[in-house]
């Protein structure tokens, strides 16, 4: 283990602050490290393995596809890609899909499409996108430029032109920021990396009306909160509002790398042949995994269970808040939940890991809980006393 960590540090770019655990196997909500120690996973690889680790149906689909056809390029037709596009459009507002390989690339496609659509319809110069403070849209140059966090920009200037930032959850702020150069508004329906922040009810709908009135495209980044995470296939369904462009990634293929940008025909037209492309986008292997994942997650009973287990989890966390003065707020929808502390939460993450529970924190003081959507109430019951002790220790240290 020590040897491997040394090799890692010597050979892999040091872009990640890793915790000292070497995972070797996963099944459902459980993970095992190289010493055989078992963990319960309340992170799901950052909201990626929504069906849990090594899901038998996804594993079978991947194995079958791996021995049938993995990749031939988008110069040809392949069946799983077409079937996935059909299912995604059937289950959403969208008519068309562009497949990419990550969340950043899905957003990159959305940004390019918004610019191209605006240029086709309104001429040059109208390419600005209004995004939100504390947002997260990825680490490519365009998507980090679209991200409203200075720490993500730092050192990579000059940024891609044409992004401005306004506070999340304020249509008025968007109204004031719009200029003749604005072509789109980019927003996460719930901010994930920004601290698991939920906007007020009605915000997204009002934003849509505003965008429609000003001929602006509304882009929802559901890379983190889509695919059943909040108890509906897409988070925006609960706000009864559709975007013009939707981006998905993380959980779409339950762990295989994929991204997707969805939109309606009128907007998709701006992407004519040759305007945008990617070698790996929508390979038979990943789209087959995604198709299986989507079919399971989209089941009404499955989603209903995410909502009810999520409600239970939130109730349990609310009890935790009552017992600990360091907890500012608990919040959640479906199985995306957060415990916001009045101090750094990393010691809680490390304590839980020692005890065999995987969680993480965002924005220093927010504990994020995003277990596989198949998590059971008794597994939540096992986490709670550990969180309780971790918070007591944290309070004792400060006292």
Ligand X SMILES: *Cc1c(COP(=O)(O)O)cnc(C)c1O
| Residues annotated catalytic, as ranges | 136, 221, 250
What's the closest the beta carbon of residue 301 comes to ligand X, in angstroms?
Answer: 27
- Selected binder of ligand X within 26, 28, 52, 138 (CB under 6 A): 138
Task: Identify which range of 164-172, 217-225, 291-299, 376-384 contacts ligand X by CB under 6 A.
Answer: 217-225
Residue 327 or 369: the one with the smaller Cβ distance to ligand X is 369
Residue 228 C-beta: closest distance to ligand X, Å = 15
Residue 350 phi/psi, 5-degree rounding, is -70, -40
- Full 3-state SS string of 83-142: HHHHHHHHCCCCCEEEEECCHHHHHHHHHHHHHHHHHHHHCCCCCEEEEEECCCCCCCHH
Contacts of 265 (CB under 8 A, 6+ apart): 95, 96
Strand partners of residue 108? none
Query: Closest approach of Cβ 385 to ligand X, in Å?
Result: 30
Among 26, 142, 193, 242, binds ligand X (CB under 6 A): 193
Task: Report the nearest approach of ligand X to the CB of residue 140 (Å).
Answer: 7
Cβ nearer to ligand X, comparing 246 with 394: 246
Rounded least distance, CB 138 to ligand X, Å: 4
230 contacts ligand X (rule: CB under 6 A): no
Instruction: State the minimum distance, in angstroms, from the CB of residue 224 to ligand X.
Output: 3
192 makes contact with ligand X (CB under 6 A): yes
Site for ligand X in 248-307 (CB under 6 A): 249-250
Shortest approach of ligand X to residue 396 CB, angstroms? Answer: 34
From 137, 236, 288, 331, residue interacting with ligand X (rule: CB under 6 A): 137
Q: Does 108 contact ligand X by CB under 6 A? A: no
Q: Does 227 bind ligand X (CB under 6 A)?
A: no
Of 39, 136, 313, 351, which lies in the binding site for ligand X, with binding defined by CB under 6 A?
136
235 is an interface residue for ligand X by CB under 6 A: no
Among 223, 241, 335, 339, binds ligand X (CB under 6 A): 223
Contact 360, 42 (CB under 8 A): no
- Closest residue to ligand X, Cβ-based? 103
- Short-list 49, 364, 354, CA closest to 196: 364
Span near ligand X by CB under 6 A; candidates 117-125, 157-165, 220-228, 287-295: 220-228
Q: How far is CA 380 from CA 50, 141, 303, 311, 361, in A?
A: 16, 39, 18, 12, 18
Instruction: Give how many residues touch ligand X by CB under 6 A.
Output: 15
Considering beta carbons, is residue 56 or 167 the nearer one to ligand X?
167
Nearest to 338 by CA among 355, 320, 357, 353: 320
The nearer residue to ligand X, 116 or 137, going by C-beta atoms, is: 137
CA distances from 141 to 187, 271, 382 (A): 18, 21, 42
| Measured distance CA(187)–CA(109) in Å, rounded | 15
SS3 164: strand
Minimum CB distance to ligand X smaller for 193 or for 239: 193
* Binding map of ligand X across residues 159-188, x = CB under 6 A, - = no contact: -----------------------------x
Q: Which is nearer to ligand X, 107 or 379 (CB)?
A: 107
Rounded Cα distance, 232 and 238, in Å: 7
Residue 237 interacting with ligand X (CB under 6 A): no
Q: With binding defined as CB under 6 A, does residue 104 bind ligand X? A: yes
Does 244 help bind ligand X (rule: CB under 6 A)?
no
Q: How many CB atoms lie within 10 A of CB 157?
A: 7
Task: Tell me the H-state helices in the chain.
Answer: 2-11, 44-47, 56-66, 79-90, 103-122, 141-145, 150-153, 171-177, 203-213, 265-268, 284-297, 300-323, 346-354, 377-398
Q: How many residues does the chain have?
A: 399
Segment interacting with ligand X, rule: CB under 6 A, options 17-25, 133-141, 156-164, 391-399: 133-141
Taking the C-alpha atoms of residue 140 and residue 336, their distance in angstroms, rounded to an integer, is 25
Name residues contacting ligand X, limited to 308-337 (CB under 6 A): none
Question: What contacts 223, CB < 8 A, 6 or more positions away?
Answer: 103, 106, 107, 137, 138, 188, 192, 247, 248, 249, 250, 259
Q: What residues make contact with ligand X under the rule CB under 6 A?
A: 102-104, 107, 136-138, 188, 192-193, 221, 223-224, 249-250
């Amino acid at each position: 283990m020590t040897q491997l960590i040394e090799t890692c540090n010597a050979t892999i770019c040091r872009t990640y602050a890793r915790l000292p655990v070497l995972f070797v196997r996963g099944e459902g909500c459980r993970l095992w490290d190289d010493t055989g120690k078992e963990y319960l996973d309340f992170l799901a690889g950052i909201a990626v393995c929504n069906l849990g680790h090594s899901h038998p149906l996804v594993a079978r689909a991947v194995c079958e596809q791996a021995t049938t056809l993995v990749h031939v390029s988008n110069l040809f037709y392949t069946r799983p890609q077409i079937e996935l596009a059909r299912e995604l459009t059937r289950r959403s507002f969208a008519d068309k899909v562009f497949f990419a390989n990550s969340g950043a690339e899905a957003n990159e496609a959305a940004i390019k499409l918004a610019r191209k659509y605006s240029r086709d319809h309104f001429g040059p110069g109208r390419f600005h996108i209004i995004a939100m403070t504390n947002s997260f849209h990825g680490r490519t140059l365009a998507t980090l430029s679209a991200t409203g966090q200075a720490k993500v920009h730092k050192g990579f200037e000059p940024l891609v032109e044409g992004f401005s930032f306004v506070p999340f959850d304020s249509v008025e702020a968007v109204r004031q920021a719009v200029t003749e150069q604005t072509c789109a508004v980019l927003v996460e329906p719930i901010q994930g990396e920004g601290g698991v922040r939920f906007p007020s009810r009605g915000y997204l709908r009002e934003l849509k009306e505003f965008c429609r009135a000003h001929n602006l495209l509304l882009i929802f980044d559901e890379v983190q909160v889509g695919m059943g995470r909040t108890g509906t296939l897409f988070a925006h369904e609960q706000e009864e509002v559709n975007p013009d462009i939707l981006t998905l990634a993380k959980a779409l293929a339950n762990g295989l790398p994929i991204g997707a940008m969805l939109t309606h025909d009128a907007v998709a037209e701006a992407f004519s042949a040759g305007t945008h492309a990617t070698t790996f986008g929508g390979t038979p292997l990943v789209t087959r995994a995604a198709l299986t994942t989507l079919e399971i997650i989209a089941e009404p009973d499955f989603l209903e269970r995410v909502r009810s287990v999520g409600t239970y989890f939130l109730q349990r966390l609310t009890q935790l808040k009552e017992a600990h003065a360091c907890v500012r707020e608990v919040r959640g929808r479906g199985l995306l939940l957060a415990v916001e502390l009045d101090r750094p939460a990393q010691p809680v993450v490390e304590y839980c890991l020692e005890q065999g529970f995987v969680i993480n924190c965002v924005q220093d003081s927010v504990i994020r809980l995003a277990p596989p959507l198949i998590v059971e109430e008794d597994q939540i019951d096992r986490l709670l006393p550990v969180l309780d002790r971790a918070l007591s220790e944290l309070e004792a240290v400060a006292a």
